[in-house]
Amino acid sequence: MQGKLIVVSGPSGAGKDTLIKAALAEIPSLALVASATTRPPRPGEVDGRDHVFLSREEFERWIREGKLLEWAEYSGNLYGTPKESVERLLAEGRNVILRIELQGARAIKKKRPDAVMIFVRAPSLEETRRRLESRATETRESLESRMATAVKEVAAREEFDYEVVNGDREQASETMIELLRKIVEGEDEDAG
Ligand code: 5GP
């Protein structure tokens, strides 16, 4: 049986990674697809596991060769979902998580209307800024650009099937795990 395609989106600094990591540890059928990106690796990030790190030239070749299910420019870098990884995992019956920004989420929904859409956000934009500042991996310019994007992204949250507000980290992790369990078991109402 084909697995489900699950899109997790929401502003940078919302804590998507933490919630997804918690769910991956609890639900073995879930798989997170490593995105291709032209963004340089952050300390600790491993090529092929966290992302596939490409030069802009290589990324553009992937676009031309039709290797990406969707792609978008975000904060000056290109990000895209490798088509082959998604198809292989779904065919293996895994439930596939795409951790992508809004334009990509919309593109997936258009191509795959059966995809389940989850929006993750911090309790407020002030909190989003605080989290991005404390991450200390962003330059001032990148931080401001991510904040401007966050405002637009939050305005689109009603396009999603579910929203998880990440205030208390443990509580939000539990909410996310419970929601994903329901989705993979086909017990959620929205996902047919
Ligand atoms: P970051 O640089 O923080 O890893 O990612 C920046 C933004 O790009 C995040 O909102 C993340 O969800 C998004 N992103 C990561 N991979 C992809 C992808 O493959 N496609 C799209 N459209 N967005 C992605």
The residue whose C-alpha atom lies closest to atom 10 belonging to ligand 1 is 101
Identify the residue with better confidence: 140 or 17. Answer: 17
**What pLDDT score does 191 carry?**
46
Query: What is the mean pLDDT of the segment spanning 95-106?
Result: 97
| Mean pLDDT (the chain, rounded) | 93
**What's the 99 CA to ligand 1 centre distance in angstroms?**
6
**How many Å from the N-terminal Cα to the C-terminal Cα in the chain?**
15
Q: What are the Cα distances from residue 70, in Å, to 37, 82, 176? A: 12, 8, 24
pLDDT over 90 for what percent of the chain?
82
pLDDT, tens digit, 9 for 90 and up, residues 103-134: 999 999 999 999 999 999 999 999 999 998 88
The residue whose C-alpha atom lies closest to atom 11 belonging to ligand 1 is 100
Positive/negative CA dihedral, 128, 134, 135, 141: positive
**What's the 139 CA to ligand 1 centre distance in angstroms?**
17
Whether the predicted pLDDT of 141 surpasses 90: no
CB 103 within 8 A of CB 109: no
pTM of the predicted model as reported, rounded to 2 decimal places: 0.93
**What pLDDT score does 189 carry?**
60
**What pLDDT score does 190 carry?**
54
**What pLDDT score does 192 carry?**
45
Token pair, residue 179, equals: 């929601």
Please choose, from the candidates 87, 90, 158, 81, the residue with its C-alpha nearest in 3D space to the C-alpha of residue 121: 158
pLDDT, tens digit, 9 for 90 and up, residues 13-61: 899 999 999 999 999 999 999 999 999 999 999 998 889 999 999 999 9
The residue whose C-alpha atom lies closest to atom 2 belonging to ligand 1 is 39
The residue whose C-alpha atom lies closest to atom 12 belonging to ligand 1 is 100
**What pLDDT score does 1 carry?**
77
- Cα separation, 145 vs 161, in Å, equals 26
**What's the 51 CA to ligand 1 centre distance in angstroms?**
10
**Residues with Cβ within 6 A of ligand 1?**
12, 35, 39, 70, 72, 74, 79-81, 99-101, 103-104
Q: List the helix and strand counts (H, then E) for the chain.
A: 7, 9
Query: What is the mean pLDDT of the segment spanning 146-161?
Result: 94
pLDDT band at 187 (very low <50, low <70, confident <90, very high): confident
Please choose, from the candidates 153, 159, 133, the residue with its C-alpha nearest in 3D space to the C-alpha of residue 144: 133
The full DSSP string for 134-177 is: HH--S-HHHHHHHHHHHHHHHHTGGGSSEEEE-SSHHHHHHHHH
